[in-house]
Amino acid sequence: MKNMYLSICLLVFSVLINAQEDASILERMEEIAIIDQKVMMPMRDGIRLATDIYRPKTNEKVPIIFSRTPYNFNSWGDGEQKTRTAQRAYEAVKRGYAYVVQNERGRYFSEGEWDILGVPLTDGYDAFSWMKDQPWSNGKIGTYGCSSTAEWQMAVAALDHPSHAAMVPQGFGAGVGRVGDIMEQGNWYRGGAEQLLFFSWLYGVEHDKFKPRIPEGATQEDLIRISRFYDLAPENPPVDMAEALKHLPIQDMLKNINGKKEIFDKMVRRKPNDPDWFTGGIYHDDMEISMPSFWFASWYDVSITPNLSLFNHVHNNAKDSEVRDNQYLVIAPTLHCAYTRATENTIVGERSVGDARLNYDEQIYAWWDLWLKGETNDFKEKTPRVQYYTMGSNKWHSAEQWPPKDSKMTTYYLNSDGNANTLNGSGTLSTKKPFKDKPDTIIYNPMNPVTSYGGNVCCTGNAVKGGAFDQQVMEERDDILVYTTDVLKKGVEITGFIESTLFLSSDAKDTDVTIKIIDVYPDGRAYNLDETIQRVRYREGYEKEVFMEEGQVYQVDLTPMATSNYFEKGHRIRIEVSSSNFPRFARNLNTGGNNYDEAEGVVATNKIHHSKAYPSQIKLPMKK
């Protein structure tokens, strides 16, 4: 009874403290800011976008930090005042910036129809034009945000609005369409296989077209009053997404859980090279980014390799040398958008990666001061081109390029006596080339796929828990091939892109190949670092589908992985090879059909070859 009383007291105390903090931030904001909420910013076609503006109480013109989002930033919800947006705004206003947050077209109080990354790019351009013309604006605008508040920034940056002075995109992979050979189309695909994160995400965010609408022409006064009790934030019933993602055919996944499905319906039918991917708000590498950019990525995010590839693309290929010289990058050892949640002992999944904190606010506001205020400061002298965190040694490092110039590729070859299945098999990984071909066999049954266990994920609800987890339990499965080096006699750091080439034969027309890179501890713990997949029909590129013939051996080059990890002396380097990683990626039903409209699959017998003629291999970027 005493313990229960103590718990109740602590709970009440916590609630009171939080309430005081909420009241305090609002009071402090009122002291320093002019707050203008539910401003309906006009677009060129007459649609108005709901916008909240927080700006310093000053007669001087100020720069703007702009965040556009599909998420609800209303100051009220369920009759209670919310302070999350106010807290972010306060940090900007106290430093002399206006903070402007806006809902995308068709979201909450914004007018029009919403489409994921499909709203007009001109909305961003028109917003910049409106903001620069305000009497309190100095005409300099920076875009800022993580995930859905980042993914729109790159394509809009390519429009080159004269007031768009700099950007800070974080966890921005869902805005990356094509970069070089990588064709993710905004995280919808990896290697031509569907990533199921948007199947889950759309259930929670796509609003019904029959939702109540605010009447056209509603005044700002009316909107502010209404927003106190009516935040236009519908909530779908909770769903067991781990079960929901098992439904076949995948085109009916949202229908099966009574989700709104119009946007999903058209996206699920698009192939990787569908022209519609190139008409929305996704960035592609034929679009020129001509502005200073401070990029943020993380090792356990869903699209670490495309993110790093985009940084390289802009840093190396921008037409203007000044633009090339003003690209900066931070890579943290966290999950999606979890940068500032790093602690003195950061746990990612179940692995400790040490003290991964970084002075984010200090660096970002120095960046804004440089580009939005025009201040002469020491950002460029103090800030390395690339800051990356090495797991294992648990340290921040810096480099002038990505990968660091002292990372050199070392080729490791797969080998076995034909029995690499499971942790207890004969699979090895070494720098010696195998000679005689004794292929390893994966019996891949799409009705019993390899379960995603940890990994580089986002937004799948309870279906996949991201991060590093001990893979030994997975490596008991007979449909996972395991290849491991000898015990390392000295420690080695692997930092950069990881390339892999596998030689495959199959009795199916089409199948998938998956791979993971793993750090094996002396006690057997095996922590995953990164993973990727390739749908074999797209092995020759995403412009065509080329199916397999039984008896033929095919070279499959997978989308590169990326990491920075120190393998200590006594550890081992391991890869896992299989044909599924579900529900991180959709199952290939092995039929050669559309896959999205099929409910039944066939079992595939897949063989991984390793010999002088078929040198299945992985190239590891080892630091000297």
**Residues belonging to the active site:** 147, 301, 336
Cα 584 to Cα 579: distance, rounded to the nearest angstrom: 13
Q: In which residue are the tokens 């999944």 written?
A: 349
3-state DSSP assignment of residue 537:
helix
3-state DSSP assignment of residue 52:
strand
Cα 86 to Cα 109: distance, rounded to the nearest angstrom: 18
Q: In which residue are the tokens 């000044």 written?
A: 322
Q: Are strands 492-506 and 182-183 parallel, antiparallel or unpaired?
A: unpaired
DSSP class of residue 294? E
Two structure tokens written together for 296: 């943020």
Q: Which residues pair with 573 in a beta bridge?
A: 519
Cα 497 to Cα 565: distance, rounded to the nearest angstrom: 12
Q: What is the 3-state secondary structure (H, E, C) of 455-524?
A: ECCCCCCCCCCCEECEHHHHHHCCCCEEEECCCCCCCEEEEEEEEEEEEEEECCCCCEEEEEEEEECCCC
Q: Are 433 and 413 in contact (CB under 8 A)?
A: yes
Exposed, middle or buried by CB within 10 Å (0-12, 13-18, 19+), for 217? exposed
Q: Are strands 526-535 and 193-194 parallel, antiparallel or unpaired?
A: unpaired
Query: What stretches of 158-214 show up as alpha helix (H) in DSSP?
Result: 197-205
Q: Which helix (H) or strand (E) holds 380?
A: helix 379-382
Q: In which residue are the tokens 């720069």 written?
A: 63
Q: Are strands 137-146 and 164-170 parallel, antiparallel or unpaired?
A: parallel
Angle between the N-to-C axes of helices 84-93 and 2-32, in degrees from 0 to 180, rounded to the nearest 10? 40
Q: Are 496 and 548 in contact (CB under 8 A)?
A: no
Q: In which residue are the tokens 């939080």 written?
A: 18
Cα 411 to Cα 212: distance, rounded to the nearest angstrom: 59
Of 599, 276, 191, 618, the C-alpha closest to 428 is 618
Cα 4 to Cα 161: distance, rounded to the nearest angstrom: 60
Is the N-terminal amide bond of 249 cis, ω within 30° of 0? yes
Cα 579 to Cα 99: distance, rounded to the nearest angstrom: 47
Q: In which residue are the tokens 């692997």 written?
A: 494
Two structure tokens written together for 133: 């013309």
Half-sphere exposure of 462 (CA within 13 A, CB side): 7
Q: In which residue are the tokens 């369409």 written?
A: 177
3-state DSSP assignment of residue 24:
helix
